[in-house]
A and B are shown apart, each in its own frame.
Chain A
Amino acid sequence: MSGAMTKPSEELVVLGIETSCDETAAAVVSGAGKICSDLVLSQLDEHRPYGGVVPEIAARSHMDHIDRLVGEAMAGAGLTYAELDGIAATAGPGLIGGVFVGVMTAKAIALAWEKPFLAVNHLEGHALSVRLSDAIDFPYLLLLVSGGHCQLLAVEGVGRYRRLGGTIDDALGEAFDKTAKLLGLGYPGGPAVEQAASKGDPAAFDLPRPMLGRPGLDFSFSGLKTAVRHAADKAGVLAGAGVLAGAGDDGGHDQTRADLAASFQAAAGDILAERCAKALALFEKDYGTPGPLVVAGGVAANRSLRARLESVAATAGSRLVAPPPKLCTDNAAMIAWAGVERLGLGLVDPLDFAARPRWPLESLSAGG
């Protein structure tokens, strides 16, 4: 385990592996912020027929692909294992079978090539990804919004995360997916709702804004989802009730669906905007600086929500920073980068580190 720590951190090169949920992914990233290779299985050409629609939750599926994907990531980076400074893998939170495959693969490479092993928290990967794309300094306010997560965090440093609020029921990405399902808009739900909403009237339906105006910084989206269902049912556009989306002239149903999608998106935007405005005020009080506000996770790709957050940040004298969409969805480049950051601080993990299906971000410690 020698060599790495004597190098300046910009020169570190780390292989990252991500298998904690639906995606099998491998990437090589340098300490200077260069993404040498970045592969996500569902985005490879031969998997395009499936479009990443089928979740690859089975550990066996990760196992079938991870060796080849790691080999291709190394070839794409033009590096040998001997030239790496560390091997990082998502060690949780996530499905234990998938996480185990990634962790075992990383440990095997680390052991064979006598390289440091870095156990990365998947959420820390998301939290630090903005420093790979935009090289911003600590501290910053992070809104992490994806299919499985919705939380506000003060990112004080590597391994130092303070949770300011989170969802008490559904994640926002889940609400988008379920709204798409209720309206028969297709999959993936986020882009489908956004596209339908672009042709709709956001004031057409009066939907609730749960938690708005309440103290604290928590979110709730379950009631909004139920309200969408109720409105869709009343308006006769509930999917599966004899109504087929996109079937051409259907007596204005397409417009109704677009209006409902737009109204849902507006409600989600109002909730995010109000919570982020409050969080920015709290952040400035606690840290003496108004942000920046960073938005990460798959939902960050939504342009309408992004525009809302930009204006919230501007009003607070802050600015919005969002990593590019490829870094916002699940990927291995962010895991490799978190590995670079931890390795630079000497935060190496032992080879007997056990995968953790549940692993809250605020339980991490930066060590020394």
Chain B
Amino acid sequence: MPSASALPLRLPLPDLEATERLGRALAAILRPGDVVALYGDLGAGKTALARALIRALPGPEGAAEEEVPSPTFTLVQVYERDPAPVWHFDLYRIEDPAEVHELGLSEALGEGITLIEWPERLGGLLPAEALSLTLSYGDEGARAACLDGAGDWPQRLAELRS
């Protein structure tokens, strides 16, 4: 049934809790080397989704209570987690795509799970095999998610459909 795994996958997110549930569901299928590009306007829920995802991954003692602040000003935050460290980028303030090298993007892509907010700023530097996740506004606080990606993403995302 090829249609069962066809992308893009569109999911309604009626409230913040649904956005966080999607983050936790993604955490369960991510592997070292994965890149998730988080698209969406200010306030669409990108950081909320990233926070839920990071909190759902097992880490060292105290990791569950560790704060996951917005990385808008720090540009990148790194979290020690299993199965790989999570690099959480926010490129909102980046002017020149080359600046991301200063932020450790190549280290992130080599060893970690990489979450990138405002991936538009990367231009052609965004890896082709990245999972693209777009959050958009619906009515009265609702959001919708649209997930797309090449490679084995169609198979891996199939279980999110349930």
Contact = CB atoms under 8 A, between A and B. Distances in A.
B43 A170 contact: no
A170 B104 contact: no
A109 interface: no
Interface in B33-57: 41-43, 47-48, 51
Nearest to B96: A58
B72 A174 contact: yes
A174 B75 contact: no
Given A94-B74, A97-B102, A225 B42 contact: yes
A55 B121 CA distance: 14
Contacts of A148: 72-74
Interface in A86-126: 93-98
A54 B78 contact: no
B62 to A, nearest CB: 11
B70 interface: yes
Contacts, number: 75
B42 A178 contact: yes
Interface in B118-142: 141
Contact of A169 (B41, B47, B77, B94): B47
A184 interface: no
B73 A54 contact: no
Contacts of B102: 57-60, 95, 97-98
Contacts of A332: none
B110 interface: no
A171 B99 contact: no
A122 to B, nearest CB: 11
A141 B120 CA distance: 41
B67 interface: yes
Contacts of B74: 21, 93-95, 148
A181 to B, nearest CB: 7
Contacts of A358: 77-78
A292 B43 CA distance: 36
A169 B75 contact: no
A134 B95 CA distance: 38
8 smallest A-B Cβ distances: which pairs?
A148-B73, A226-B43, A229-B43, A147-B73, A170-B70, A97-B102, A174-B72, A58-B102
Interface of A: 21, 54-55, 57-60, 93-98, 146-148, 166-171, 173-174, 177-178, 181-182, 222, 225-226, 228-230, 357-358
Given A54-B95, A57-B94, A148-B74, 19 more contacts: A21-B73, A57-B75, A57-B99, A57-B103, A58-B99, A59-B102, A166-B67, A168-B69, A169-B51, A169-B70, A170-B47, A171-B69, A171-B72, A174-B72, A178-B42, A178-B43, A182-B42, A225-B43, A229-B43
